[in-house]
Amino acid sequence: MTGYKLVAFDMDGVLVEMKSSWRYIHECFGTDNSETRKAYLNDEISSQEYMDKDIAMWKSIGKTVHDIEAVFENVPVMKGAHECMHALKAEGIKTAIVSGGLGILARRIAGEMGMDYVIANEINENMEKGILNVSPKNKDIPLKNLARKLRVEKEEIVSVGNSKYDVKMFKVSGMGIAFNPCDDIVVADADVVIKEKDLSLILPYILE
């Protein structure tokens, strides 16, 4: 019987194939956030400012929250995702999305697959600002808060991510799985590396 009680998943690149749900919206709307992205990566603006600038860009061309929902409506989940969630639920293991991506997509995916918790970034109804629940650079904080709420110890947590921004989640987990990795940093810090895009492949490591 597995000793794990909680599996935390990044969303972008893990539960869905797109590398960034924010970038996906820009591509669909024809907007360009390359300058604000560069500023964020250079630590010139905060996560909150980065979100707000993206949202303002979308609002300026007349887009609404409902337009974003429509874009995400038919985005498919990663191969093996349904099987993975079903198997974890059968073992009584809680599942969570911890993502710097858009909560609109995260909530849809979680509902579709019966996941237990969603922690992601939201947009207020009037497209005035973002609601920062997960800073990509500090994803350990929401995971630790959830674990504390559930009274789950570090050794009982598995984190699944694909980039350097997920390494901090690995540090507060009993096992870190680099799934569909997009950089060498996440690979170096992971306990398990799975390059094939099939989420069911993580199950043997969790349920052994």
Mean pLDDT computed over 3-30: 97
pLDDT per position as a tens digit, 42-98: 999 999 999 999 999 999 999 999 999 999 999 999 999 999 999 999 999 999 999
The dihedral region occupied by 13, where left means phi > 0, alpha psi between -120 and 50, and beta the remainder, is: left
Q: What structural domains and CATH numbers belong to the chain?
A: 6-20+74-207 (3.40.50.1000)
pLDDT per position as a tens digit, 119-177: 999 999 899 999 999 999 999 999 999 999 999 999 999 999 999 999 999 999 999 99
pLDDT per position as a tens digit, 71-85: 999 999 999 999 999
Separation CA 140–CA 109 (nearest Å): 22
User: Taking the model in full, what pTM does it have?
Assistant: 0.95
pLDDT of residue 178: 99
Contact partners, residue 110, CB within 8 Å, separation at least 6: 97, 116, 117, 118
